Each structure stands twice: as C-alpha cells, then as structure tokens.
A and B are shown apart, each in its own frame.
Chain A
Amino acid sequence: MNAEPDGSTETEDDPTPPAPLRYGAPLTDSRGQAVVHPSRDTWLEVAEAALNDGFDHLTDVTAVDFLEYPGRRDLPDGVEPQRFEVVALLSNIATRERIRMRVQVPVDDPTVPTLFDLWPGSETPEREVFDMFGISFVDHPDLCRILMPDDWVGHPLRKDYAVGRIPVQFKDQGASL
C-alpha cells in the first residue's frame, strides 16, 4: 500500500536491500496486503503507532502454529521464525486501509502483551487464541477459555493436538459458573 520506508538505518553493503520499515518494524507485502513484523518487545509500540496513525479498528486477532511448516520464507531478514505466530488485523475505518501485524512467539514462553488497552475489541479474539493455542496475553482483563469447556485439557488448534484424540468431555454437574 502507501507504505513509507521511513529512515532505514541499514547500510547498502549486503546485496539484498533490507525490508522497508513501518512504525519501526519490517514491512513486507503478501499478495498486495501490507504486513508488519514487530518483535514481542516492540509489539505494543508498533500497535500504538498504528493506532495513532489512524488504524482505529482491530478487525481480528488470530494465531498460527508453524510446528509442521518450519520452512516458510515469507519472513523478512532479522525476524527469527518461532513456532507460534500471533496475527492482528487492523483497518482504518476512514481510509479503508488495512495492515496486518505478525509477531513470532516461542513455544517455551508463549506470551504476548495484550492489545486490550489500545482496542477493547481485542477481548474475545484474544481469549479465543488463548483457548485454541495456549498463548497468554499479558494483562488481558479476563483471560479464560471461551469456546472449550473451562476444565478442558489441551489447546485444540495446536498442530500436535491430534484430531479425535480425546473423547468428548462433559463437565461435572454443579461446576462453577
């Protein structure tokens, strides 16, 4: 889209030009759609910069488990692939511009800062990601399971969670609300 490579500091030594930056994070293009790749440390900064830039609508938050697909090539240089990837889709209601934020999340510490303080609408999508992938959103106001029963064990959309592995679980009568 109309991405502005704002002041990249890389030198021109390496043969492939570095990915342009947007909000201080590498920007790539995926079939005509803009994608920024912040790290977990810059996740909130980039999100806030995007919000201040007019991306006032958090369309969705989702995640992907790359356990069985480690060889993907769509990450820019400097972004270390990890098992999980949290994806946030932003749109600008006025200009209808869209942007996607993708952050790599390691399996040994599956946490990401919550976007709730910037967009309260991230509340249920983040709960769904927590439920389905076991990725915790730090400082989320009400991080609990949303689609699966409260006492469910495991996170169904992880790739190591086999289909049909667990028989249907029913809650005990009189379980807490």
Chain B
Amino acid sequence: MSVTESTDTSDEAVVDPTERVRRRGADSAVLRMSEAEAAQVGNDPHLHADDQRVLLNMGPSHPSTHGVLRLMLEMEGETVLRSKPVIGYLHTGMEKQGEQLSYMQGSTNVTRMDYASPLFTELAFSLATEKLLEIEIPERATWIRMLMCELNRLGSHFLFMATNGMDLGAVGMMIYGWREREEVIRFLEKVTGLRMNHNYIRPGGVAADLPDGWEYDIARLLEMIPPRLEEYDTLMTGQPIWRGRLQGVGAMSAEEAIALSATGPVLRSAGVPSDLRRDEPYLAYDQVEFDVIVGTYGDCYDRYAIRLNEIRESVRIIGQILEAMPSGDYRVQDKKVTPPPRARIDESMEALIHHFKIFTEGYKVPAGEVYAAVESPRGELGVYMVSDGSSHPYRMHVRAPSFVNLQTMPHLMRDGLIADGVAIISSVDPVMGEVDR
C-alpha cells in the first residue's frame, strides 16, 4: 500500500515542533504527544490556524473496537495524525479482588480477565502459585493443561479470524470463524462444564480428568480443522482485496516493537522470534515439536498470517499430545493443596474436617515473590505474586499482553488512514476484559 508514501510528504510540510520524538540508537520510535502538550497545541490559535485538524472520538461502543476501547484521534482529512487509546471502561478491580480471595478461589477470579482465552490466565496464576508452593504437578495434569491451552489458542485465533474478517468487510468470514470456534468450545464445555470462564486449571493440577472418548473428539477436530484453514486461504489469504487492505498497513520495525514492550503476534510480526513456549518452555512444551511463526514487515498482513499459521502449529501440537498423553493423576496428591475426593468425605471424619478446612481457610503459601509467564494467544501473560505466608495472595498482578500491546497502537496508526485504523485495532487483537482487568 502507498499509505505511508503518500502521507510522508504532507508530514514533512507540517512537522510539529512539539511532537515527542524519542531516539534509541539508529532507529527512532515516534510516540504520541503528551496530553499536556496536546492541550497546549490545541489551545494555541496561531499554531495550525489554517489547517483542517479535527479531534474525533471513536468508541467506546464502536463495532470495530472489540468491546469498550475508546480512541481519541486527531485527524487531518482522513489521515490519523495522533491517537490515544482511552481505556478503563471495563475496570472491575480484579487485582484488588485477587487479594481478598484465597489461592483456591483465585483461579475463578483471573479466568474472567481474558475472556477469549481464559485458560491461559488460570495457567499463569496456577504456575505462580505452584512456584511459591514448590510443588511438582503430575505428568498427566501437565499434558492435560497443555492440550486445553492449545485448544483454547485455537478458539481464540478463530475468534480473531472472525472479527478480523468482519472488521475488514469479509462478513462471510465472521460466520466461518465462529463456526470453528464453536467446535472447539463444545469440547472445552464437555471437559470443563463451561463454555468460557472455565476455572479448570487450578493450583495443583486441573479440576477434572478428561471425559471418556476425548481422543475421538480431538481426532475429529484435528481432521476437521485443516480443510477449513484451506477455505480461509481461498477466502482471504490469496485475495487481492484482502491483501491490499492489510499489506503495508500499520508496519513496525523490530526495534520499535521491542522498545514498546510488545509481545506475542505483534512482536513476532516484526521479525522477532519470541515465543515463551520455545524460549522458556513451561509445562511440557520442550517435548513437542512446533515452529515459531515469524513475520517480516510487522504489518497487519503479517499479524493475520502469523495467527493463521499458529492455528496450524497448534493443530500439530495437539496431534502430538494425543499420541503422548500419559496416564496417571490429574492433580497433585499433596493433601495440603488438594481437597479429599468426594467419596472419602462420607466415610472419614478426618476427610470431612480436611475438606472443610481447605474450603474455608484455604491453604497457606510460603512467603516470597515470584513471576510466572506463559505465552497466551496475545503475548506474554505473566503473574507477579507476592505471598506473606497466609492463604491469600498479598499482591497478585497480571501482566496482561493486551494492555501492553495497546500502546503500540498510536504508533501503528500514525499517518495512516482511519479505515486502516480499524484494520490495526483488529490486528493487535486486544481483549478489553484483560486490558482493564
């Protein structure tokens, strides 16, 4: 696309002296103006007295803002000069709430953050708690977690395919994306009992073993998905309109992506092969084979192609998990962490007391602080947890990838068209539940 070329010349003519330009080495990351500076510029009648700048408010309830994201845009004609995401509309104080809930209840809370891929927040929370407890979970629990997370990644990426298509006018794609996501969610519901907000991965293992016949369901999914991806290729990947709409839009260099703390597909699209599953293998990711998909230009098309191919890689991983699923326990047999089985409560007084204690007081976690991170469909999802030795986290902070990736957006949208802005919001794929927490 020629968006950047065509606006470059006009930008040369109106170089704003107060624009904040930060230089790091050879490459510069141009960031937006501060609000104070913007007010100064906006109130000065002599500066830009003859231009056609308009401040435009987009959202918070705009169909393409993926929930309640609001953007303040400074426009000249159809060109976006500056933009600022305004967030907080979905803020419900989940980190504060996390301090009131015990470690056992915590996963119920964190699962509501990223509602498109809830299992990853549960996983990061559980890994952080287990690091503090210094317990090892059984092999089967590890592999079940991995299976469920990869399925959830499929669901989340299918949701991206649907919304990305819808935002760009490929309305048929929306139906296809939802159709595939439905298949995945049906399996998640069969295992966890819920379509979203599963509360399935808990400190110490998972909530329940896989149901009978799960291998059949997974095999059917693995058979169903690859041909559907071929359909996506026909519908979108090769289409000249689709490519014209995405290629060269919202491009970013690797240095800029790193400087802006981007992670996940946003960082990988710029050509940085960063994937925690490979770089810092958690669970059993060092025992499965998969490729880290990396882009070249850091544009919207790369971000789309990365997610499409990550679906293929997840299918590959799930195939290997299906082969290698070990038998054994699905949660750790540490009586301090795991409540006794239901059947024991009827026979044993001690089991009843134990059950009661664990569910009223919770279990105590040794004092300390720890950070655990996983690769969610949106990037590095980390939990920083401080324990004071009681049964509630003293501080539970979630490093939400959507929240941090959102700050790349003003940089990506700069000097682009507003219609491309919609493509950029979609390609960063923020989930507002996680942004606002």
Contacts and interface: CB of A to CB of B under 8 A. Distances in A.
Interface of A: 30-31, 33, 56-60, 62, 64-65, 68-69, 72-74, 87, 89, 93, 96, 98, 100, 117, 119-125, 128, 132, 141-142, 144-149, 156-157, 163, 177
28 contacts: A30-B370, A31-B132, A56-B258, A58-B261, A60-B397, A62-B399, A64-B394, A65-B395, A68-B394, A72-B367, A74-B368, A89-B371, A89-B399, A93-B274, A96-B280, A119-B261, A120-B29, A120-B31, A121-B259, A121-B261, A123-B407, A124-B403, A125-B404, A146-B87, A147-B87, A147-B91, A148-B88, A156-B96
Contacts of B313: none
Q: Is chain B's interface secondary structure helix, strand, loop, or mixed overall?
A: mixed
A123 B410 CA distance: 12
Interface string B60-102: 0000000000001000000000000001100101011100100
A57 B132 contact: no
Given A31-B132, A56-B259, A93-B272, 13 more contacts: A30-B369, A33-B371, A68-B388, A74-B368, A74-B369, A89-B399, A98-B371, A120-B24, A146-B87, A147-B91, A147-B437, A163-B96, A177-B57
Interface residues of B, number: 53
A163 B261 contact: no
A8 to B, nearest CB: 24
A96 B369 CA distance: 20
Contacts of B369: 30, 64, 74
B34 A120 contact: no
Contacts, number: 113
B35 A69 contact: no
Contacts of A117: 22
Contact of B259 (A65, A74, A119): A119
B12 interface: no
A19 B382 CA distance: 27
A11 to B, nearest CB: 30
B31 A69 contact: no
Give the residue among B72, B262, B370, B437 with the most A Cβ atoms within 10 A: B370
Contacts of B263: 59
A177 B100 CA distance: 34
A149 B60 CA distance: 14
B62 to A, nearest CB: 16
Contacts of A147: 87-88, 91, 436-437
Contact of B20 (A56, A141, A177): A141
B261 A57 contact: yes
